[in-house]
Amino acid sequence: MKKWLIGVLVLLLGLAGVGLLVLDQRAKQLEQALSESQQQLKRMQRGYLPNSTKKETSQKVESNTVTVDLTSTPANMELLPTLDSPSNAKNRLWVGTFQLVWNDLMDELVKGPVKLNVPMVTLLNQQAFTTADLSESAYYKKWGKASPALREEIEQGIKDKFNETSDVLHLVDWNQPQDPLYSRYILYAMLKKDFSFVEPLDKLNEEEFKGSNGLVKYFGIKNGTAFQVRKSVHVLFYNGENDFAVMLKSKQGDEVYLYRTNDDKTLDRLYADMLQKDTQTDDYVGVNDYFKAPMIDFKILREFTEVCGQEFPLYNPEIGESAHIEKAIETAQFKMDETGVRIKSEAIIGMMASGGAYHERPVVQHRYFYLDDSYVIFIKETGKKPYFAMRVTDAKALQ
């Protein structure tokens, strides 16, 4: 009997030992997998993109590209390639930077329109925004054959002009392919703006913004705000609390337009609507009026995978017979508060080529210029087209 019990105990201990060994091995596998996942997450958070696998041939190239943000993308935010691009995103914006590099792609390398069956390409080929719509001091651009020397030249160029560093140069290949029949080209641009309002506005209490979760930080005009501050906020028109537009002047000559509307149109049509409603009068936020606008501070990166990996013809014998885009990236950093606006935007394309005075008016009633529901921002230089546009329907996501 004792021998039988001893045999059973030995058997049970043996089975337990095997079970513990299996559990220990499984635990080590899980720990290794978790470690690899954490390392990959860290690389993604730092802005590294997985390497694209491409064949250096004249055939269509499949691009293994993904979208990575500079930080964390605001909820439901889309960075658009052109001012007239359609979008269903709650928050959408456009900066002219990507159009600048696309213009150089057409004018310097392709020598004509880029022929790709992609809707955004049709819009980009129209070149609706050019360097003529910006002061020379507001942008830097460079293109050429990919090389470490070109990268160093760009890094030094934006350092000298803007005292800035790049967030995108490391995302493209700067080496030439081994096959002498192929050449890699890089087109780059940076748009930089940093301006102060003519008069700093007031910081206001945090309040709700329709469609946002949580309270939102605001700036604007309140009871007791000085006369010169009120006069710096120009009123284009006021058709009620849900349909108005104001313009904030800056010391540097830039103008910030804030258009309160529920219309959900493309940004170019919203801009046209706003200008059409402009009463062309010398109106401003008066002593019985109120004004508030959300503070905004975000960063975003978008890779336009739609244009990558598809072959298109070149009309430039010095460059080659055909080409495809390997990388097409744009970034936008935007901050607006009671003091002014700061914008930094970059765009890069990697291409592989082959073969009036104030007048007194009676105040009938209070007007409330409260940007606490969906509205649009346009920024331009005096007498020129906008270089920045944004529709906001969730301000909390942008703070």
Residue 35 pLDDT > 80:
no
Listed by start position, the domains of the chain span 78-195+298-353, 196-296+365-398
Terminal alpha carbon distance of the chain: 77
pLDDT, residue 316, reads 92
pLDDT, residue 75, reads 66
pLDDT, residue 364, reads 56
Is the Cα dihedral 368, 372, 378, 381 positive or negative? Answer: positive
List C-alpha distances in Å: 237 to 54, 91, 234, 245, 260.
54, 24, 9, 6, 10
Let me know: does 74 contact 395? Beta carbons within 8 Å.
no
User: How would residue 365 be classed by pLDDT, with cut points 50, 70 and 90?
Assistant: confident
Tokens of residue 321, six digits: 């017979």
User: How would residue 337 be classed by pLDDT, with cut points 50, 70 and 90?
Assistant: very high
Residue-wise pLDDT for 178-229, tens only, equals: 998 999 999 999 999 999 999 999 999 999 999 888 999 999 999 999 999 9
Report domain 196-296+365-398's class: mainly beta
Query: Of the given ranges (27-41, 45-59, 348-362), which has the lowest mean pLDDT?
Result: 45-59
Residue 10 pLDDT > 50:
no
pLDDT, residue 79, reads 97
Q: Are strands 368-370 and 290-294 parallel, antiparallel or unpaired?
A: parallel
Let me know: does 356 contact 103? Beta carbons within 8 Å.
no
Q: What percentage of the chain carries pLDDT values higher than 70? A: 79
Mean pLDDT of 23-36: 46
Residue-wise pLDDT for 122-138, tens only, equals: 999 999 999 999 999 99
Residue 300 pLDDT > 80:
yes
pLDDT, residue 18, reads 37
User: How would residue 367 be classed by pLDDT, with cut points 50, 70 and 90?
Assistant: confident
User: How would residue 362 be classed by pLDDT, with cut points 50, 70 and 90?
Assistant: low
State the pTM of this model.
0.75
pLDDT, residue 211, reads 86
Residue-wise pLDDT for 66-90, tens only, equals: 333 344 556 689 999 999 999 999 9
Q: Higher pLDDT residue, 93 or 52?
A: 93
Mean pLDDT of 226-241: 96
Question: What mean pLDDT value characterizes the chain?
Answer: 84
